[in-house]
Amino acid sequence: MDELDIHKAFLGGEPIPGISFVHNDYVSIVAGEHRGTKGSLVNVYELGDDPTYIVENEAGFDIIVYQSHIRKSLAKDVDC
């Protein structure tokens, strides 16, 4: 898979080997410099032993975060 195919697959919800999350998953960052931040997954940034994602944090900024540093989270402000 080339880089464009990876981005298309991620945005399309297709499985990608080594990728544990899907587009728009709401996540908590549990380690690293952005620990304590929450946001939504925008795209895969880079594959590898510990893939990285582009996460749009709640302030609206894009940050790069390792897969090992994030956990799926409950969505904020859910109306029932």
Please, what are the domains in the chain? 3-72 (2.30.30.30)
The yes-or-no verdict on residue 6 having pLDDT over 70 is yes
Q: What pLDDT was estimated at residue 4?
A: 87
Q: What is the pLDDT of residues 49-72, one digit of tens each?
A: 999 999 999 999 999 999 999 999
Q: What pLDDT was estimated at residue 76?
A: 64
Q: What pLDDT was estimated at residue 74?
A: 83
The yes-or-no verdict on residue 75 having pLDDT over 70 is no
DSSP secondary structure, 56-78, as one string: EETTS-EEEEEGGGEEE-PPSS-
What percentage of the chain carries pLDDT values higher than 70? Answer: 92
